[in-house]
Structure 1
Amino acid sequence: MKKSKKTKEKQSKVQVQQSNWRLKVAQQKLQVLGFSDERPSGRMTEATSTALKSFQKQHKLKADGELNDATYHKLTWEAFAKEGIPKVKGKEIVSRAAKYKGVPYVFGGTTTKGFDCSGYVQYVFKDCKAKLPRLADEQALQGIFVTQKQLRPGDLVFFTTYAAGASHVGIYAGDGQFWSASSSKGVILSSLKDDYWKQRYYGARRVLITNGEVYK
């Protein structure tokens, strides 16, 4: 069965978005490691290519300034060792997350008077003396990618809701559930298996070093 032109165009668009996201992550990691001060954009620039070449030379990789698989994986692991949150355990994060059950949703909220999704996640981590950026799409650049099967309590899960990309974030609690500040119900424990979240799942990131490395 041949794929329709519309299907091919949709797949092509998704591939471009994934490629841009991968590059955006790489640009953030180059910042973390001190190879670049360029703001992550998801677009290949001369500055990004130069930074990649420098990183590749230092780690004895093919220095062509391209973001190949070997470079991407080495880059993310080196950055994780530096930017990953040490000592704090996933169970501690989940325990703090549950503490704020029922706090109402407030767009732009960052306190116990009202949270938005990323404000809630940032607050919980701060409560455990750990730092995260303020916005969901910034939080989605942190740490390393993990699949749903690799999720551990304290990992971050992302969804595409009101805007393209990572526009909603939650804290994985274990057993297929996660805590987040829902716009309709405030801070609540939800299931990844719920149709609403299942259809909007975007990906997950590991920011806690204590949650361990990921082996494919």
Structure 2
Amino acid sequence: MKKLVAAAALLGMMAFNPIVGKAALGDHTLKQGMTSKDVQQLQTVLKKKGYFTYKKTTTYYGTYTKSAVKKFQKAKKLKADGVAGKSTFKALGVKTAVKSTSYSSSGLISTAKRYMGVPYRWGGTTPKGFDCSGYINYVFDKSAGIDLPRTVSGIYLKGTSVSTPKAGDVVFFQTYKHGASHAGIYIGDHKFIHSSSSKGVSIASMQNPYWAPKFLGAKKI
């Protein structure tokens, strides 16, 4: 009976004091208007480097923080938009991590198909034009809030390898150079959606005589 009472008490404590996992600085993009401890950590790093000059750090990403980030980005010749994303954290020396997470494969694919017909553009990362990795980055961020590395080779280093791809997994190909150089999102039925240099965002078959011999592997992000 005493054990039952103790167990009930423990469950009660857990209900009122849930265990919350903590993400490391750099795991999420930070921008103006956000409030979190990550913002304060960002300010501290910028302060040590001489860019954040406000008298004290806070958890709010306001105009002072945005201004400090922009100054740092300009100094490092990055896109000076005042948003602390992957490239900014990397320049700051903050290691970022992309972890396998659960997301809706149907939602991801639905988002991916929304941009069918968008033209290919080298270095493109927006619906005005995508290259293959820019497209995958955009879809994962838009659909699942996942910030992936910018290049195909970088994305290939992340996630978990799978022997047989499932809908929502990323499939990789070795095309013009050794290693992963092209990628798309597997949508099932031996097909994947990608930004092709010849057709833009389109669907192709894994069994296509061009793609089949170039298939390198698949990963679940």
Cα distance in structure 2, aligned partners of 1:142 and 1:181:
20
Amino acid corresponding to residue 126 of structure 2 in structure 1: T
Give the structure 1 partner of residue 212 of structure 2.
Answer: 198
Residue ranges of structure 2 left out of the alignment (5+ in a row) = 1-26, 28-97
Deviations 1:75-133 (A, max 9, x none): xxxxxxx81123x2111111111000000000110010100000000000010122211
Give the structure 1 partner of residue 8 of structure 2.
Answer: none
TM-score (normalizing by structure 1):
0.56
Give the structure 2 partner of residue 107 of structure 1.
Answer: 122
Cα distance in structure 2, aligned partners of 1:138 and 1:170:
14
Amino acid corresponding to residue 138 of structure 1 in structure 2: G
**Highest Rg: 1 or 2?**
2
Deviations 1:32-59 (A, max 9, x none): 9xxxxxxxxxxxxxxxxxxxxxxxxxxx
| Structure having greater relative contact order (Cα 8 Å, sep ≥ 6) | 1
Give the structure 2 partner of residue 141 of structure 1.
Answer: 157
Aligned pairs (5 A) from 1:81-160: 83-86=99-102, 88-128=103-143, 129-147=145-163, 150-160=164-174
Cα distance in structure 2, aligned partners of 1:97 and 1:85:
18
Give the structure 2 partner of residue 168 of structure 1.
Answer: 182
Amino acid corresponding to residue 210 of structure 2 in structure 1: Y
Match of 1:106, SS state, is coil
Identity of aligned residues (%): 45
Give the structure 2 partner of residue 186 of structure 1.
Answer: 200
Question: Which segments of structure 1 move beyond 3 Å, counting only runs of 4 or more?
Answer: none
- Is the helix fraction higher in 1 or 2? 1
Cα distance in structure 2, aligned partners of 1:93 and 1:100:
12
CA RMSD of aligned residues (A): 1.4
Cα distance in structure 1, aligned partners of 2:210 and 2:160:
25
TM-score (normalizing by structure 2):
0.54
Amino acid corresponding to residue 114 of structure 1 in structure 2: G
Cα distance in structure 1, aligned partners of 2:151 and 2:183:
9
Give the structure 1 partner of residue 191 of structure 2.
Answer: 177
